[in-house]
């Protein structure tokens, strides 16, 4: 799995600060993208989601929190680092609660910025890997035949072969065959592994 | 009470030839006296009071006046008092008195008088001479006569109350009172009696020769006398002797003569009797006319009432009464009271202003004091008020300053944001530049660009601080001409971040005129800022279209109106008026001072402020200020 180079998305309505931040991060060797507003970012959502977002908290138009909220609704892996020119506690608590990766007060030192960005990138990587895994699992699950999927769903819910055969109006042998085929397709050796995949894909909740 | 019945000149009943011989007029006064009621029916005692000079000639008239009064007072009987005057006393001795004697004989032929009283020597001598055919055996009482001019007839029914005129004592008195005196002018007329007295004076004052010189008026006309009296050399005194006629024969017998001298004289006037005391005489030992008259009346009463025989009554000689002085004259001539003869009496002492007008003085003084106290109190109050006004002004300035601080702290997070943007950018740029420099070769172009950006950001930060510093640090109001357009722009700078944070658009009239108003720049900014923040707060709950606008317009030549308009919730009608009062707030966290301070400041510069609701929602705050004169 080749990892694309991460991009730091800088969203700030203050042109001067935006430029300086881009300059610094570029000098530090990061790839950057700049947006003058939250809506500009939403309109140009990056296809590749390696990286993180540096978001100014106080902006006219789509503000920091609003953007965070909207990103949260989508399948976002980009951690958000809030930047604020006045670090007030109320705002920072709200930001962290709603899942902000970090909270930085302007002016921010280079060291703090690097640490924060690095942490965010690691988290981004983790999130992406986790998401990739889930995607792979979902792909495997979708590769099952309908009958196999049906049997799989019942197996991970703890149904015995006999019960499944009875429910489906078929023989235990047939159930066993579907079950094995599914386990093979998913690449799991034990029932526990299969249950884990089903759980991660959210198949057990409904 | 004496009743003046008649004062008719008898001359008509007398032949004219006689009349001329008789020389002069004589007058008759008949007086009837109603005495006590118990004797009202008894026949009246008839008394003839015979004068030597005129009836009005002082001092003789004074004698008759006093004698009359004393008689009426003392006599139990009714008195029929007849006064007649010889008049010839001031004429040469050659005048024949017999026609006058005839007249009197005729007058009293039926009812002879019970007593004849003569005043002054000539009348006494006349009676003595005519005694054989006139008033035979009728008691005669001689008065107001000097021993030198009278000798008592041995076999006549007469007695006398004489006056002792000690001329030396009188002159000595002048020297005692005014020791510097070296000349005494003696007023004496041209009549024989007055000439006699001139010689008497000369004789009497011999002991004083060398110390004081004397001059006499006997040979002067009245006008000359007055002129002389008015031009006396310094250290002179006037002695008022006797004056009935001047050298030209002009009779000087009326009572106004003395006062003419008094007016004309440039020297103090003394006399031997007190007939003019109180009219301008300095005073001294003098004959008391009152005293002599009383003694005369006493003697008359003894004869008339008690039936004593006149000849059996010894002659009485009365000298000077104890000395008396007129205080006013002493003051006028600056006589020291120490110079006066011991036992002297000073009368006519003018009451001091204090004793005369004590209560008036107290009243007026109290009024003045009261007024002064009131004035002082008012002045004190005025000073206190001024100090209080100054203190209140200082307090207002402090309050205004505090209000500015509060205002700024209310928008401090916006300001911090505003300030931290450039600071953050600078820090970032510096970091980038450091990294760029560590490369080889360094990207000089980019570093140059970075440095340029750093400068820009630094200037931006400086500007923000500059705006605030001017606003916060101003302590004293320094009135000057303030460009209202610039003041509005400054305020917009300050609130811009806060407005941005709240999503409120700021609008300033593009056509803002550069009007100048008179006031302190910071104070006017404060008014604008308070109104602006008030407007921002009013739009807290407004969902969209949040706009805050500034407008200026010229009302007339002298006034400028500035308006701050918002699109907020407006002001409840009931609060439109009181909204400018202290501690009235419609906000949850307002101090209620912002608008109050705005009003105070506007009024301090002679303006007025009010609030109103706009037609399409929102509130308008307007204030009017006098336009500065220098405004073009």
pLDDT (tens digit per residue) in B325-357: 998 888 889 888 888 888 888 888 777 777 778
Residues A189 and A94 grouped into a single domain: no
- Closest CB from B413, B416, B453 relative to A20: B453
Percent of chain A with pLDDT over 90: 13
Least confident of A7-16, B209-218, B557-566, B586-595: B586-595
Nearest to B84 by CA among B127, B148, B146, B41: B127
In this model, does residue B27 exceed pLDDT 50?
no
* Whole-angstrom distance, CA of residue B466 vs CA of residue B459: 10
Q: Is A26 part of any domain? A: yes
Residues A85 and A18 grouped into a single domain: yes
**Which residue in chain A is spatially nearest to B504 when comparing CA positions?**
A60
Interior/surface letters B523-549, b for 16+ CB within 10 angstroms, e for the rest = bbbbbbbbbbbbbbbbbeebeeebbbb
Residues A48 and A105 grouped into a single domain: yes
3-class SS at B518? strand
Exposed, middle or buried: residue B499 (CB in 10 Å: 0-12, 13-18, 19+)? buried
List strands edge to edge, sheet with B213-216: B213-216, B183-188, B236-242, B269-271
In B313-360, where do the E strands start and end?
316-318, 324-326, 345-347
Count, residues in chain A = 206
Q: Is A194 part of any domain? A: yes
pLDDT digits (tens, 9 = 90+) for A29-74: 999 999 988 888 888 877 777 889 888 877 756 667 777 777 776 6
3-class SS at B487? helix
Q: Which domain holds residue A195?
A: 143-200
What is the tally of structural domains in chain A?
2
Q: Is A108 part of any domain? A: yes
**Chain A closest-CA separation from residue B589 CA (Å):** 18
In this model, does residue B412 exceed pLDDT 80?
no
Question: Span A66-88, mean pLDDT?
Answer: 76
A104 contacts in B (CB within 8 Å)?
Answer: none
In this model, does residue B361 exceed pLDDT 80?
yes
| Tokens of residue B542, six digits | 């407004």
Interior/surface letters A46-71, b for 16+ CB within 10 angstroms, e for the rest = eeebbbbbbbbbbbeebbbbebbeeb
Residues A24 and A124 grouped into a single domain: yes
Q: Is A138 part of any domain? A: no
In this model, does residue B582 exceed pLDDT 70?
no
Strand-pairing partners, residue B468, are none
Q: What interface predicted TM-score (ipTM) does this complex get? A: 0.76
Instruction: Report the pLDDT value the prediction gives residue B511, as an integer from 0 to 100.
Output: 66
Higher pLDDT, B371 or B417: B371
Least confident of B26-35, B131-140, B470-479, B623-632: B26-35
**A86–chain B Cβ distance below 8 A for any pair:** yes
Higher pLDDT, B8 or A141: A141
Nearest to B49 by CA among B109, B108, B110: B108
Q: Is A49 part of any domain? A: yes
Q: Is A50 part of any domain? A: yes
Instruction: Report the pLDDT value the prediction gives residue A19, as an integer from 0 to 100.
Output: 92
In this model, does residue B236 exceed pLDDT 90?
yes
Under DSSP, the state recorded for B321 is P
* Whole-angstrom distance, CA of residue A181 vs CA of residue A177: 6
Sign of CA dihedral A188, A191, A196, A202: positive
Percent of chain A with pLDDT over 70: 91
Query: Do A17 and B425 make contact, defined as CB atoms within 8 angstroms?
Result: yes
In this model, does residue B632 exceed pLDDT 60?
no
Sign of CA dihedral B30, B36, B37, B42: negative
Higher pLDDT, B245 or B399: B245
**A161–chain B Cβ distance below 8 A for any pair:** no
Count, residues in chain B = 632
Interior/surface letters B383-408, b for 16+ CB within 10 angstroms, e for the rest = eeeeeeeeeeeeebbebbbebbeebb
pLDDT digits (tens, 9 = 90+) for B286-307: 999 999 999 999 999 989 888 8
Residues A73 and A28 grouped into a single domain: yes
In this model, does residue A2 exceed pLDDT 80?
no
Nearest to B524 by CA among B580, B604, B411, B592: B604
The domain that holds A175 is classified in CATH as 1.10.10.10
Question: First and final CA of chain B: distance in angstroms?
Answer: 100
Strand-pairing partners, residue B548, are B506, B566
| Tokens of residue B411, six digits | 């928008």
pLDDT digits (tens, 9 = 90+) for B510-547: 666 778 888 888 888 888 888 888 888 888 877 778 88
**Would you say B201 and B145 are in contact if contact means Cβ atoms under 8 Å apart?**
no
Instruction: Report the pLDDT value the prediction gives residue B118, as an integer from 0 to 100.
Output: 92
In A24-95, where do the E strands start and end?
31-35, 51-56, 80-84
Q: Torsion angle, CA of A9/A12/A17/A21, rounded to 10 degrees?
A: -10
> Looking at the whole model, is its pTM more than 0.95?
no
pLDDT digits (tens, 9 = 90+) for B541-570: 777 788 899 988 888 878 888 899 988 888
* End position of a domain, from candidates A132, A167, A192: A132
A86 contacts in B (CB within 8 Å)?
Answer: 413-414, 416-417, 420
pLDDT digits (tens, 9 = 90+) for B464-513: 887 777 777 666 667 778 888 888 888 888 888 788 878 888 888 766 67
Higher pLDDT, B451 or A200: B451
A91 contacts in B (CB within 8 Å)?
Answer: none
| ∠ CA B500-B506-B507, rounded to 5° | 160
| Tokens of residue A55, six digits | 């978001």
The domain that holds A98 is classified in CATH as 3.40.50.2300
**B503–chain A Cβ distance below 8 A for any pair:** yes
* End position of a domain, from candidates A76, A104, A132: A132
Q: Which of A92-96, A102-106, B201-205, B534-538 is predicted most confidently?
A: B201-205
Residues A26 and A92 grouped into a single domain: yes
**Would you say B529 and B407 are in contact if contact means Cβ atoms under 8 Å apart?**
yes
Question: Span B133-148, mean pLDDT?
Answer: 88
Nearest to B2 by CA among B82, B107, B85: B82
Residues A54 and A124 grouped into a single domain: yes
Residues A126 and A166 grouped into a single domain: no
Question: Span B270-279, mean pLDDT?
Answer: 90
**B460–chain A Cβ distance below 8 A for any pair:** yes
In this model, does residue B241 exceed pLDDT 50?
yes
* Whole-angstrom distance, CA of residue A135 vs CA of residue A120: 22
Query: Do A20 and B503 make contact, defined as CB atoms within 8 angstroms?
Result: no
Which of the four pLDDT bands, split at 50, 70 and 90, describes residue B227?
Answer: very high
Q: State the average pLDDT for chain B.
A: 82
* End position of a domain, from candidates A86, A102, A132: A132
- The answer, yes or no, to whether the previous bond of B205 is cis (omega within 30 of 0) is no
Which of B412, B419, B425 is the best mutation test for A, with the most CBs of A within 10 A? B425
Which of the four pLDDT bands, split at 50, 70 and 90, describes residue B37?
Answer: very low
**B451–chain A Cβ distance below 8 A for any pair:** no
Q: What phi and psi, each to the nearest 5 degrees, are found at residue A56?
A: -75, 130
In this model, does residue B439 exceed pLDDT 80?
yes
Residues A60 and A18 grouped into a single domain: yes
In this model, does residue B94 exceed pLDDT 80?
no
Instruction: Report the pLDDT value the prediction gives residue B343, as an integer from 0 to 100.
Output: 85
B414 contacts in A (CB within 8 Å)?
Answer: 86
Q: What phi and psi, each to the nearest 5 degrees, are found at residue B197?
A: -70, -30
**B426–chain A Cβ distance below 8 A for any pair:** yes
A84 contacts in B (CB within 8 Å)?
Answer: 417
In this model, does residue B214 exceed pLDDT 50?
yes
Which of B411, B415, B416, B420 is the best mutation test for A, with the most CBs of A within 10 A? B420
Residues A25 and A119 grouped into a single domain: yes
Query: Do A105 and B420 make contact, defined as CB atoms within 8 angstroms?
Result: yes
Query: Do B428 and A58 make contact, defined as CB atoms within 8 angstroms?
Result: no
Q: Is A177 part of any domain? A: yes
Count Cα neighbours of B151 within 13 Å in the Cβ-side half-sphere.
3
Least confident of A5-19, A144-158, B375-389, B400-414: B400-414
Residues A17 and A74 grouped into a single domain: yes
Q: Is A31 part of any domain? A: yes
Residues A79 and A127 grouped into a single domain: yes
B410 contacts in A (CB within 8 Å)?
Answer: none
């Amino acid at each position: 799995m080749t990892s694309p180079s991460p991009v730091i998305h800088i969203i700030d309505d203050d042109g001067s600060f935006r430029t300086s931040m881009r300059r610094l991060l570029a000098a530090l060797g990061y790839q950057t993208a700049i947006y003058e507003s939250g809506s500009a970012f939403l309109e140009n959502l990056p296809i590749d989601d390696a990286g993180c977002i540096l978001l100014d908290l106080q902006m006219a138009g789509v503000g920091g929190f609003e953007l965070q909220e909207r990103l949260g609704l989508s399948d976002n892996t980009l951690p958000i680092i809030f930047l604020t020119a006045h670090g007030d506690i109320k705002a920072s608590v709200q930001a962290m609660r709603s899942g902000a990766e970090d909270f930085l007060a302007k002016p921010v030192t280079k060291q703090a910025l690097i640490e924060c960005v690095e942490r965010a990138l690691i988290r981004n990587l983790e999130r992406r890997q986790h998401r990739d895994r889930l995607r792979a699992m979902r792909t495997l699950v979708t590769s099952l035949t309908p009958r196999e999927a049906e049997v799989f769903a019942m197996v991970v819910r703890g149904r015995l072969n006999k019960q499944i055969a009875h429910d489906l109006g078929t023989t235990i042998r047939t159930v066993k065959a579907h079950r094995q085929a599914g386990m093979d397709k998913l690449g799991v050796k034990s029932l526990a592994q299969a249950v884990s995949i089903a759980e991660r894909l959210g198949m057990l909740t409904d | 009470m004496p009743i003046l019945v008649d004062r008719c000149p008898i001359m008509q009943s007398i032949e004219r030839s006689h009349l001329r011989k008789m020389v002069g007029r004589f007058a008759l006064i008949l007086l009837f006296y109603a005495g006590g009621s118990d004797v009202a029916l008894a026949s009246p005692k008839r008394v003839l009071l015979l004068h030597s000079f005129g009836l009005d000639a002082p001092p003789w008239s004074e004698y008759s006046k006093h004698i009359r009064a004393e008689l009426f007072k003392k006599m139990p009987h009714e008195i029929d008092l007849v006064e007649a005057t010889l008049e010839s006393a001031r004429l040469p001795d050659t005048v024949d008195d017999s026609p006058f004697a005839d007249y009197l004989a005729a007058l009293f032929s039926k009812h002879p008088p019970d007593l004849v009283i003569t005043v002054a020597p000539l009348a006494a001598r006349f009676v003595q001479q005519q005694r054989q055919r006139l008033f035979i055996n009728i008691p005669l009482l001689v008065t107001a006569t000097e021993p030198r001019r009278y000798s008592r007839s041995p076999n006549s029914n007469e007695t006398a109350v004489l006056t002792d005129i000690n001329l030396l004592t009188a002159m000595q008195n002048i020297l005692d009172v005014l020791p510097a005196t070296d000349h005494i002018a003696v007023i004496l007329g041209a009549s024989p009696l007055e000439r006699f007295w001139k010689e008497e004076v000369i004789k009497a004052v011999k002991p004083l020769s060398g110390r004081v010189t004397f001059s006499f008026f006997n040979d002067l006309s009245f006008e000359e006398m007055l002129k002389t009296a008015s031009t006396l050399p310094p250290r002179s005194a006037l002695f008022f002797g006797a004056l009935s006629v001047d050298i030209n024969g002009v009779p000087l017998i009326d009572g106004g003569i003395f006062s003419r001298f008094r007016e004309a004289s440039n020297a103090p006037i003394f006399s031997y009797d007190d007939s003019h005391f109180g009219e301008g005489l300095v005073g001294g030992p003098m004959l008391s006319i009152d005293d002599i008259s009383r003694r005369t009346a006493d003697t008359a009463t003894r004869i008339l009432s008690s039936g004593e025989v006149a000849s059996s009554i010894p002659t009485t000689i009365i000298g000077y009464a104890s000395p008396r002085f007129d205080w006013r004259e002493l003051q006028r001539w600056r006589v020291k009271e120490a110079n006066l003869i011991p036992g002297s009496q000073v009368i006519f002492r003018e009451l001091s202003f204090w004793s005369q007008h004590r209560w008036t003085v107290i009243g007026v003084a109290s009024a003045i004091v009261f007024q002064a106290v009131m004035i002082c109190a008012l002045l004190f109050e005025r000073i206190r008020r001024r100090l209080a006004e100054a203190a209140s002004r200082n307090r207002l300035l402090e309050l205004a300053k505090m209000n500015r601080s509060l205002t700024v702290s209310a928008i401090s997070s916006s300001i911090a944001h505003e300030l931290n943007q450039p600071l953050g950018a600078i820090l970032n740029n510096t970091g980038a530049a450091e990294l760029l420099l560590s490369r080889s070769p360094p990207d000089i172009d980019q570093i140059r660009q970075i440095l340029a950006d750093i400068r820009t950001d630094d200037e931006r930060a400086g500007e923000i601080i500059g705006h605030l510093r001017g606003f916060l640090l101003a302590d004293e109001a320094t009135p000057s001409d303030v460009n209202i357009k610039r003041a509005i722009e400054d305020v917009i700078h300050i609130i811009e971040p806060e407005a941005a944070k709240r999503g409120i658009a700021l609008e300033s009239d593009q056509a803002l005129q550069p009007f100048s108003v008179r006031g302190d720049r910071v104070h006017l900014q404060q008014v604008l800022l308070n109104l602006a923040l008030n407007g921002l707060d009013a739009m807290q709950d407004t969902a969209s279209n949040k706009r805050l606008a500034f407008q200026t317009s010229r009302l007339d030549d002298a006034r400028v109106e500035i308006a701050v308009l918002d699109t907020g919730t407006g002001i409840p009608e009931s609060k439109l008026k009181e909204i400018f009062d202290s501690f009235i707030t419609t906000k949850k966290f307002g101090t209620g001072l912002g608008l109050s301070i705005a009003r105070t400041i506007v009024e301090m510069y002679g303006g007025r402020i009010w609030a109103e609701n706009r037609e399409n929602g929102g509130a308008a705050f307007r204030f009017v200020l006098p336009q500065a004169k220098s405004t073009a």
